[in-house]
Structure formats: structure tokens, C-alpha cells
Amino acid sequence: MPKITRVQCIRTRSGGTWVIVKVHTDQPGLYGIGSASDHYRASTVVEAIEQSLGPKIVGRDTGDIEDIWQSSLTSGYWRHDSIWNTALAGVDMALWDILGKEAGMPVYRLLGGPSRAAVPAYAHAAGNTLEELEQDVRRYLEDGWIYIRCQLGNYGGGGFLTPEQRRRPENARPPFDTPRRAFDDEAYLDTIPQMFAFLRDRLGFEPKLTHDVHEHLRPHVAVALAKAVEPYRLFFLEDLLPPEHVSYYWHVKQQCTTPQAMGELFVNPAEYLPLIQERLIDYMRIRVSKAGGITPARKIAHLCEWYGVHTAWQEGGDNDPVNQAAAMHLDMNAWNFGIQEENHFTEAELDAFPGHAVTKHGYIYPNAKAGLGLDLDETKAAALVDPERLKRHFYMAEDRRPDGTVVRP
Ligand code: MG
């Protein structure tokens, strides 16, 4: 059995926000890679791996995947937090990669084999006006995509007041000020159903459309929105509620049939178990690395299967090609797979990950290579990093109401 000799972190992308974990072994040429990326706290994750997780597992057999995960989970007593889960995931994915290489099989075959030929993905269409959005949706439809997320500009778009509509307090001052834009969730409640009415009128009901609320609404407005978009038969409505208010999904399910997708902020089973068991969501959207890797994610997928919940692992803008591959292998196998979110990689970024998954006309395709199927070209990965951006700190955008109250993102 190969033994772990070293756990290395490699930061890449221009701001160094992608953390790729490389687990080295005592077998010549045998190593695995995993994703431990965190757009906002990359250096914290690196420290967790280099100062705690890595030293703990050096010397272990690479095939002890389950025990390494379980014993590392509780190795700092407190567990199920976003940083530690991400660190665990980086190592866990790399160990599955090594196991696949030893077996000479893609990871999805180790998980039980394929349930499908390729993985359907949903696209991100956006526009600042209804017409621009329609054009963007049509661009994807013409390219063969079936599932399309529709947004009016950035998250919260459709709920931002114009400078004329916005009534700021006389003493508005930073940070309790909204010089750029102010969010009003009742405006959002008016606009988004109109957006779907417009799109269905122009495009019909064949395209499968989704929308991401990104938790911007107060819970009672969220319930009203889910009900208001019901006639437009969404594929799903995403992150209607913040994790603090998931109990409102009970009201949503009483009120309407709009399918609900949630999970990208979840890190702790206590957050999502009730939603699955009570069948309050239809799509589970945890990011594989934030769940703690392939080991816990496959268990979540299996649990969801028995409750009729489908998977839609979160991808999108921040994720790296290794996390995309991990999600894709889970998707290839899980019978109750629903959809995978598209990523946004530049050519140069993909070039640093030879063997990366290929997204084409709305499908993500795995290759026949053993393990996760992709590698990291460390020279190209290093060349992606901008030393100035590496020094920067990244934070979520702050939207505020007209009176200055911060809106949860
Ligand atoms: Mg989202």
C-alpha cells in the first residue's frame, strides 16, 4: 500500500484563490490532487492543511480514505466548519485520485459506475435589461444548452432602486450609505415574476430556466416570490432563503410547487439533514469541497436518493477544475443526479490542468483517464498568479437597503 509522504498546497489563479492540494506518496510518480479553494480565505485553508492536517496524515496508507476522513474530522475536536471541511476535501479528493490511479479506473467507476453518458450542466445567462437577458439566453440555446439560469445583472438584480427611487437618510454616511445602489426586496418581488413572464412569452416553456435569489430576501418576501413565479414552471429556484431561515421552506412547500434548490452555504449536516428528511428542498447544492470532499458528498447523494432529492453540486465562478472534476465523477455515478452548474475558466486556466473535464453544448464530459482524470501543470499554475492580486483580501460584495442596513449575500 502506498504511503503518504508529503501534503503540498499550490495556490493558483490570478489572486491565488485556488488552492490545489497535492498528496505525494512513496511510490515513484504516484500522487493525487484535490481542491481546497476558498475565494475569500485561501491562506487560512493553506495554513490549516500545512500546520495541522498534513502533518497528521503523513505516513498513513493512501487507501485509508474513510478512516483518514473520520479521524481528521474530529482531530481538532470542533468540526464541520467551512475552513476545516475545505482542508479535508483537498486531501480526500487527492486520495480518491490516487486510488483511481492505482486501480487504473476513473473515480466514477470506483463509486459504482456510470448512471449516464455525460453530465448535463446549466448555463449562466444575464442581462441588465429584459432584452439583453433574452439575447443571452438565446445565445446559450443556439449553442445547444437546455438548462439556463436567468439573472437581471448581478445577484439581487431586479431589486435595486434607481437614484430617483431611493430615499436615503439625511445623515447617510459610510458604511450606512448607498451611493451606488440600494436593494429593496419588494421591488425584487415585483420584477422577477415579470422577468419570467417576459422570457416565457418570448421563448416558450421548452427551455429549463432557473433563478438564483442569493438569499437577498426577507423570509416572508421569499415565500411570496416562490409563489409568484409558480406559473412560469422553473427548473428550480435557488437560495431563496439564507441558512438561518430554512424553516420557512415549510411555508414555501405549503404554498406552491416551485422546485427549490439550496446548499452552497452549508457545511454542517445539522443544516441540511432536516431539509432532506422533510423533503423541503428538491435539489441539494453543497459545494463538494465545502462538504469535506468526495467521501461525505457521496453519502449525502445516497441519502438524498431515498428522499427523492436530487443533486446539483455548486460550481459557478469561484471553483477550480479539480472541484469541477470531483463533482462530475459524483454526478456520473449518482442515480439521483439533477444538474451541475457551469464554471467560468479562461483558456490559460484550463491549460494549467491537462486532462480537465470538457464542457460542450450543455454537457460536461469526463475522459477515460484513471483517477480524477486531470493533472496540475505547476509551471503554468504559477504563471497564472498575479503577485499584486495575491496580496489582496477578497470580500463578498455588500448590498444595502436604502437606510444603510446590510443585506445578507
Ligand atoms: Mg448560487
Distance of CA 376 to the CA centre of its chain: 21
Q: 122-158 burial string, b = 16+ CB within 10 Å, else e?
A: bbbbbbeebeebbebbeebbeeebbbbbbbbeebbbb
Overall average pLDDT of the 97-120 stretch: 98
- Report, as an integer, the average pLDDT of 245-273: 97
Q: Cα of 394 to ligand 1 centre, how many Å?
A: 18
Whether the per-residue pLDDT at 109 is higher than 90: the answer is: yes
pTM surpassing 0.85?
yes
Task: Please give the backbone phi and psi of residue 19, each rounded to the nearest 5 degrees, phi first.
Answer: -110, 115
Superfamily of domain 110-372: Enolase-like C-terminal domain (3.20.20.120)
- In terms of CATH architecture, what is 4-106? 2-Layer Sandwich (3.30)
Going from the Cα of 101 to the center of ligand 1, the distance in angstroms, rounded, reads 33
pLDDT for res 94: 99
**pLDDT for the residue 99:** 98
Beta bridge partners of 406: 400
The Cα–Cα gap between 94 and 294 comes to: 10
Q: What average pLDDT score do residues 51-62 get?
A: 98
| Annotated catalytic residue, options 24, 211, 214, 251 | 214
Predicted confidence (pLDDT) at residue 179 exceeds the cutoff of 80? no
- Would you call 21 helix, strand, or coil by DSSP? strand
Q: How far is the CA of 331 from the centre of ligand 1 (A)?
A: 18
pLDDT surpasses 90 at 180: no
Q: Where in the chain is the domain with CATH 3.20.20.120?
A: 110-372
Q: What is the mean pLDDT of residues 342-352?
A: 98
User: Does the annotation mark 344 as catalytic?
Assistant: no
What is the distance in A from the centroid of ligand 1 to the CA of 99? 31
Q: Where in the chain is the domain with CATH 3.30.390.10?
A: 4-106
Q: Is residue 164's pLDDT more than 90?
A: no
Choose the catalytic residue: 155, 248, 249, 283: 155
pLDDT of 178 > 90? The answer is no
Measured in angstroms, how far is the CA atom of residue 238 from the centroid of ligand 1?
6
Query: In percent, how much of the chain has pLDDT > 90?
Result: 96
Q: What is the DSSP string of 40-62?
A: TTHHHHHHHIIIIIHHHHTTSBT
Residue 409 reports pLDDT greater than 90? no
pLDDT digits (tens, 9 = 90+) for 367-397: 999 999 999 999 999 999 999 999 999 999 8
The pLDDT of 185-205, averaged and rounded, is 98
CA of 264 to the centre of ligand 1 (A): 7
Average pLDDT, the chain: 97
Query: Strand, coil or helix: what is 266?
Result: coil
Q: CA-CA distance, 30 to 24, in Å (whole number)?
A: 7
Output the CA 104–ligand 1 centroid distance in Å: 35
Residue 206's pLDDT band (boundaries 50, 70, 90)? very high
Annotated active-site residue 214? The verdict is yes
Residue 163 has pLDDT above 90, yes or no: no
Strand partners, 24: 6, 31
What is the pLDDT averaged over residues 232-249? 97
Contacts of 244 (CB under 8 A, 6+ apart): 408
pLDDT for the residue numbered 32? 99
Tell me, in angstroms, the distance from the centre of ligand 1 to residue 317's CA.
10
Ligand 1: distance of its center to the CA of 261 in Å?
9
Percent of the chain with pLDDT over 70: 100
- Helix orientation angle between 294-306 and 269-277, rounded to the nearest 10 degrees: 20
Q: How far is the CA of 397 from the centre of ligand 1 (A)?
A: 14
CB atoms near residue 230 (< 10 Å): 16
- pLDDT computed for residue 45 by the predictor: 98
Confidence of residue 287 (pLDDT cuts 50, 70, 90): very high
